[in-house]
Amino acid sequence: MPRSPWILMIRRFAKNKRALVGLGMVIVFVIVALLAPWIAPYDPIEQNMEVILQSPSLAHPFGTDEFGRDLLSRIVHGAQISLMIGIVGVLISLVVGVALGTLSGYFGGAVDSIIMRFMDILMAFPSFLLALAIISALGPGMINVMIAIGIFSVPTFSRVSRSAVIAIKHKEYIEAAQSMGAAHLFIIVRHIIPNSIAPIIILTTLRIATAILTASGLSFLGMGAQPPTPEWGAMLNAGKEYIRTAPYLCMVPGFAIMFVVLAFNMVGDGLRDALDPKMKL
The tens place of each residue's pLDDT in the chain, 281 residues long, gives 445 666 777 788 888 889 899 999 999 999 999 999 999 999 888 888 888 888 888 888 898 888 889 999 999 999 999 899 889 999 999 999 999 999 998 888 888 889 998 898 888 888 888 888 888 888 888 888 899 988 888 999 999 999 888 888 878 877 787 778 778 788 888 888 888 888 888 889 889 998 999 888 888 888 887 878 888 988 988 888 888 888 999 999 999 999 999 999 999 888 888 876 554 44
Residue 81: name the closest of 131, 29, 41, 133 by CA.
29
Specify if 3 maps to a domain.
no
Q: End-to-end distance of the chain based on CA atoms, in angstroms?
A: 19
Torsion of CA 159, 164, 169, 172, to 10 degrees: 170
Q: How far apart are CA 180 and CA 101, in angstroms?
A: 25
* CA 133 vs CA 149, 209, 236: distances in Å: 11, 21, 22
Asked if residue 39 belongs to a domain, the reply is: no
Does residue 35 lie in a domain region?
no
- 159 falls within a domain: yes
For residue 74, the domain's CATH number is 1.10.3720.10
Contact 263, 26 (CB under 8 A): yes
Contacting residues for 92 by C-beta, under 8 A, at least 6 apart: 146, 147, 149, 150, 151, 153
Range of the domain at 241: 68-275
In the beta sheet, which residues pair with residue 36? Answer: none
Overall domain count for the chain = 1
Residue 54 is assigned to a structural domain of this protein: no
Counting Cα atoms < 13 Å in the Cβ hemisphere of 87 gives 11
CA gap 156, 101 in Å, rounded: 9
Q: Phi/psi of residue 38, each to 5°?
A: -95, -25
Residue 52 lies in a domain: no
Reduced to 3 states (helix: H, G, I; strand: E, B; else coil), residue 70 is: strand
